[in-house]
Amino acid sequence: MTKLHLSICIPTYNFGKFIGQTLDSILRNLTEGVEVVVLDGGSTDDTGHVVAQRQHDFPQIKYHRQEFRGGIDRDIAKVISLSHGDYCWLFSADDIMKTGAVDKVLNHIQSHCDIYLCEQTICDYEMHAIKEHPIFNHITAPEIFHLGDALQRQRYFSEAKTSEAFFSFLSGPIFRRDIWDRSKGIPESFHETCWALAGRLLSLIPDGLIIHYLRESLIYKRSGNDSFLEDGVVNRLRITVEGFTHISETIFGKDSFENYHIRRVLRNERTLPHLLGIKLIVATSTQKEKMAALNEIVCKHYSNVGIVNRYKYEIFKLMPITFLRLGLLLKTIFTRKYVVPKIVKI
């Protein structure tokens, strides 16, 4: 029996429209010692049929269906429990794997680091490439970080540009199965955040974790298909601000430098213009009662000590909706007249 070096694990729910393209991109990369494990969380569309079509020619695909929707956190844990590889690579059911990605991963994991962290190429909904998405600010070459070392951990956190440095992107980390098993003792509350993957891997840092930052994009990531938006933009913001912050503060402590930098990165990703856009959406929708909840979330978003953060929150709170409408109008006119997006078809 061939030893399994890598398990590509795909939790999915009602992604029949996309998962065929995702699987095809993976199957083009498939080689000996690699399995593909799909967990269908009770889909009501044709997901099972789409996967079955590929299974006929590729027995390396293992399909498991459960008759209930477990939620992303528990489905991730379940699909990993069904895998048998030395390393696991979680993969979104609507993204595309780049050619040669599996061979590169198999070559890297021979060095036996705990986690290998790859990047993504941002695409539009139709999978036209738009831009690259580097994870760190000034780290421009592959590097190995021993996070048990205080200085290396300080550099890793302070250089983080996106929350993908903290494992927010499902397909970013490729991790050893045995370190995942060591992290089973996370609080139950992590499984209600939508970030339990990040919680389990971040929880290993205090005891030391070796991360190999590959500084290479192995994935085309589809934009405009955020399943976390299912319950609206306010809840989506709550998931990010409250969920990730809860994990960070629980593991590292509210006043830790790790929590400071995680909060910093979250504010860089959910900027004041982004928050004002959400405010406009809520104010002009039929769910104006959510404005109080939005104010509370934004207050927490800017709750770290610092006069700049306090000013940003006051701007958000006091900005008139009329100004936001005018700003949106001007942006629309300017964009249509002057901006020609650079799009490359994959």
Tens of pLDDT, residue by residue over 295-316, are 999 999 998 778 999 999 999 9
100, 28 contact by CB (below 8 A): no
pLDDT digits 0-9 by tens, 224-233:
888 888 888 9
Q: How far is CA 194 from the centre of its chain?
A: 10
The CA distance from 254 to 321, in Å, is 34
Tokens 């008759």: give the residue: 67
- Please indicate whether residue 288 or residue 144 has the higher confidence score (pLDDT): 144
pLDDT band at 1 (very low <50, low <70, confident <90, very high): low
The CA distance from 247 to 182, in Å, is 17
- Match domain 6-230 to its CATH number in 3.50.50.60, 3.90.550.10, 3.90.640.10, 3.40.1710.10: 3.90.550.10
pLDDT digits 0-9 by tens, 221-265:
999 888 888 888 999 999 999 999 999 999 999 999 999 999 999
Residue spans in the chain of domains classed CATH 3.90.550.10: 6-230
Q: What is the DSSP letter of 170?
A: T
For residue 223, which phi and psi values (nearest 5 degrees)? -95, 165
The CA distance from 38 to 32, in Å, is 18
The CA distance from 6 to 21, in Å, is 20
Calculate mean pLDDT across residues 123-150: 95
Q: Which stretch, 16-20, 280-284, 306-310, has highest mean pLDDT? A: 16-20
pLDDT digits 0-9 by tens, 39-59:
999 999 999 999 999 998 999
Residue 101 exposure: Cα atoms within 13 Å on the Cβ side = 26
pLDDT score for 116? 98
Tokens of 27: 């199957």
pLDDT at 337 over 60: no
304: exposed, middle or buried (C-beta count within 10 Å: 0-12, 13-18, 19+)?
A: middle
Calculate mean pLDDT across residues 325-336: 71
The CA distance from 164 to 120, in Å, is 10
Number of helical (H) and strand (E) elements in the chain, helices listed first: 14, 11
Q: Cα-Cα-Cα-Cα dihedral of 69, 72, 78, 81, to 10°?
A: 170
110: exposed, middle or buried (C-beta count within 10 Å: 0-12, 13-18, 19+)?
A: exposed
223, 149 contact by CB (below 8 A): no
Q: How far is CA 272 from the centre of its chain?
A: 21
Which residues neighbour 176 within 8 Å (Cβ) at sequence distance 6 or greater? Answer: 86, 87, 112, 113, 114, 115
For residue 213, which phi and psi values (nearest 5 degrees)? -80, 115
* Cβ neighbours around 111 below 10 Å, total: 10
